[in-house]
């Protein structure tokens, strides 16, 4: 084990430095034309997941819809707090949906939409899965900044995360990265 190896370089009793609990699992950089991307076979060895994304896409204000374990049934909800640059709204955004709309693409050339999504206790079989996401884009005259939550009404451990853009396609240099955060 790494910890024992480190301890061997120091005097007896010196504890090894703790390892980082934030680890990269997988990432994708797209070539363009795709409509979805999937992280599959997600290890169950972490406690929490984080998805970090930066998207270019074909259509203005396209939704990014997230699904877990390839579930396309009407098992998702979302609620949000949104700023449009001139107005604010916060309300029920939807229930019994076929995906979690927790991302947005600008559809503007060279202008990424970005977001960070946190999913806690993704392996718990006692919990439905609640996403928390901060995302948005600015296009120098347009854009949104959004805090959004979403629910997957399923207690299964998460083993796959997929993202779909609607309408249109992802453009080249869109990127998605999945990270795992360990815990006792």
Partner 1 sequence: MATYVEIASVTVGSGGSAYVEFTSIPNTYTDLLVKFSARSARTNDAGGSDGKLEFNGVTTGYSSRMLLQQGGAYSGTSSTLFYFVNSNNSTSNTFGNMEVYIPNYAGSGYKSVSIDAVDENNASSAYGVLTAGLWSNTAAITSLRLTDNNGGYMQYTTAYLYGIKKD
Partner 2 sequence: MAVTYEAIATQTLGSTASSVTFSSIPQTYTDVVYSIMTPTSAGTNTTIQFNGDSTTIYSHTQLYGDGSSANSLRGTDQSASLAGVSNGTASIRGNIMNYSNSTTYKTYLARGGAGGGTYLDAVVGLWRNTAAITSITFLASWPVGTVLTIYGIKAA
How many residues interact with partner 1 (rule CB under 8 A)? 43
Name the phi and psi angles at 14, rounded to 5.
-80, 120
For the segment 49-78, give every residue that binds partner 2 (CB under 8 A). 52-54, 56
Among the listed residues 160, 117, 123, 126, the one whose alpha carbon sits nearest the alpha carbon of residue 47: 123
179 counts as binding partner 2 under rule CB under 8 A: yes
26 counts as binding partner 2 under rule CB under 8 A: yes
120 counts as binding partner 2 under rule CB under 8 A: no
By CB neighbour count within 10 A (0-12 exposed, 13-18 middle, 19+ buried), where does 12 fall? exposed
Name the phi and psi angles at 110, rounded to 5.
65, 5
Residue 135 near which of partner 1, partner 2, none (CB within 5-8 Å, type-dependent): partner 2
Least spacing, CB of residue 183 vs partner 2, in Å: 14
10 counts as binding partner 1 under rule CB under 8 A: no
- The DSSP code sequence of 149-176 is EEEE---SPP--EEEEEESS-BPTT-EE
153 counts as binding partner 1 under rule CB under 8 A: yes
d(CA 174, CA 12): 49
Token pair 């949906």 in the structure block, residue: 97
Q: What is the helix, strand, coil percentage profile of the chain, to 5?
A: 5, 50, 45
For the segment 27-86, give every residue that binds partner 1 (CB under 8 A). 47-48, 77, 79-82
In order of 15, 101, 105, 167, 182, the CA distances from 64 in angstroms are 45, 6, 7, 9, 27
17 counts as binding partner 2 under rule CB under 8 A: no
Least spacing, CB of residue 34 vs partner 1, in Å: 28
State the residues that interact with partner 2 by CB under 8 A.
19-20, 22-27, 52-54, 56, 81-88, 90, 110-116, 134-141, 143-145, 147, 172-173, 175, 177, 179
State the residues that interact with partner 1 by CB under 8 A.
17-22, 47-48, 77, 79-82, 88-92, 95-96, 118-121, 124, 126-128, 130-132, 134, 147-151, 153, 155, 181-184
């Amino acid at each position: 084990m790494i910890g024992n190896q480190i301890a061997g370089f120091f005097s007896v009793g010196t504890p090894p430095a703790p390892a980082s609990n934030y680890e990269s699992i997988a990432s994708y950089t797209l070539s363009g034309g795709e409509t979805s991307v999937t992280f599959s076979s997600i290890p169950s060895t972490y406690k929490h997941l984080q998805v970090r994304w930066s998207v270019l896409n074909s259509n203005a204000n396209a939704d990014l819809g997230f699904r877990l374990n390839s579930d396309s049934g009407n098992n998702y909800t979302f609620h949000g707090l949104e700023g449009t640059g001139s107005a604010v709204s916060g309300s029920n955004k939807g229930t019994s949906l076929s995906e979690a709309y927790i991302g947005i693409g600008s559809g503007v050339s060279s202008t990424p939409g970005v977001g960070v999504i946190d999913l806690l206790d993704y392996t718990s079989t006692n919990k439905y899965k609640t996403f928390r996401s901060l995302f948005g884009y600015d296009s120098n005259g347009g854009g949104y900044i959004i805090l959004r939550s979403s629910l997957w009404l399923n207690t299964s451990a998460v083993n796959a995360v997929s993202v779909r853009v609607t309408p249109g396609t992802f453009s080249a240099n869109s990127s998605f990265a999945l990270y795992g955060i360990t815990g006792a």
